């Protein structure tokens, strides 16, 4: 696309993830940790590690501390991610996410660090976005982007922050303004509770992801189900939703319908959970060939 236009601008977190693995996550009390590891993660970071290998243009918008993220940024540069939209600071640390995972389910504890302050006005130039993806971040910062950043299609994808960063007014604003909303099942339930009605009654198009049960598109009063793609093995489901989004945008970049793009997302998610996201290596040609199988 022209230099004054972008296919996709993707806002969200680039986290250092500290992952504690356990056989099960108890509701209370204590349990043994079987492994501990430090990974590159975050909604925008996970998305970028997969989307970069799929070979379509995008830019991530985020805010990080160089004291904790230098190696992560070096890795993103190495795999070709455009990080010119990442605000860098030497103050504070983070963001850091502490994740407890039993391979199937996860609980997250996030130290926001630089992501606790508005940053988008510092990194987004007056450039037109075909898709402006509003992921995790401060609602007031995302509202600024929605109102000031040129775009054709606005996508609202608040993630788990919907539970503690959003009120009814925020959700009504973003969901009515967005061309597409994306939530998982739990986020959809939380949104319904906050709003007092189902998000599908507000969103022009709504994708609800359901893990091993696939995803659903609510659009124009119709409901369309997309089945999951079976994975040959499961390393971990952390980042599966972010990988789904990377595949979704591959489909949209190829001018597929939204429903067909969701099927691309399912293929990519099934591949991404087979190993660490930083090792994802499938090309768009391989993914699209699998879509036809």
CA 231 to chain centre: 20
Pairing of strands 59-65, 82-89: parallel
Q: Which two tokens stand for residue 73?
A: 């940024």
Number of Cβ within a 10 Å radius of residue 183 = 25
Half-sphere exposure (Cβ direction) of 31: Cα atoms closer than 13 Å: 15
Half-sphere exposure (Cβ direction) of 258: Cα atoms closer than 13 Å: 20
Half-sphere exposure (Cβ direction) of 216: Cα atoms closer than 13 Å: 13
Rounded Cα distance between 18 and 129, Å, is 33
242 included as an active-site residue: yes
What phi-psi label fits residue 204: left (phi over 0), alpha (psi between -120 and 50 degrees) or beta?
Answer: alpha
Please tell me which residue in 35, 242, 279, 293 is annotated as part of the active site. 242
Site of tokens 């030497």? 90
Q: Which two tokens stand for residue 276?
A: 């660490």
Rounded Cα distance between 120 and 61, Å, is 7
Rounded Cα distance between 265 and 86, Å, is 25
35 phi and psi angles, rounded to 5 deg: -160, 155
Rounded Cα distance between 61 and 278, Å, is 19
Question: Which positions are catalytic?
Answer: 242
């Amino acid at each position: 696309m022209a230099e004054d236009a972008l296919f996709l601008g993707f806002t969200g977190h680039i986290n250092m993830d500290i992952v504690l693995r356990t056989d099960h996550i108890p509701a209370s009390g204590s349990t043994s940790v079987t492994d501990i590891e430090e990974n590159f993660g975050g909604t925008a970071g996970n998305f970028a590690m997969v989307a970069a290998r799929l070979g379509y243009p995008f830019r991530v918008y985020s805010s990080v501390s160089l004291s904790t993220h230098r190696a992560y940024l070096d890795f993103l540069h190495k795999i070709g991610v455009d990080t010119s939209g990442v605000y860098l600071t030497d103050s504070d640390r983070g963001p850091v996410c502490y994740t407890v995972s039993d391979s199937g389910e996860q609980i997250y504890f996030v130290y926001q660090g630089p992501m606790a302050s508005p940053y988008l006005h510092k990194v987004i130039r007056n450039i037109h976005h075909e898709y402006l993806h509003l992921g995790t971040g401060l609602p007031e910062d995302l509202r600024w982007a929605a109102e000031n950043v040129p775009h054709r299609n606005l996508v609202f994808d608040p993630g788990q922050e919907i539970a503690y960063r959003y009120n009814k007014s925020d959700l009504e604003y973003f969901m009515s303004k967005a061309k597409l909303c994306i939530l998982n099942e739990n986020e959809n339930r939380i949104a319904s509770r906050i709003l007092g009605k189902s998000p599908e009654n507000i969103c022009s198009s709504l994708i609800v992801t359901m893990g091993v049960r696939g995803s659903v598109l609510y659009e124009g009063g119709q409901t369309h189900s997309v089945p999951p793609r079976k994975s040959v093995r499961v390393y971990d489901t952390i980042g599966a939703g972010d990988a789904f989004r990377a595949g979704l945008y591959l489909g949209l970049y190829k001018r597929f319908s939204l429903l067909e793009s969701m099927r691309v997302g399912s293929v990519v998610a099934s591949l991404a959970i087979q190993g660490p996201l930083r090792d994802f290596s499938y090309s768009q040609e391989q993914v699209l060939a699998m879509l036809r199988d």
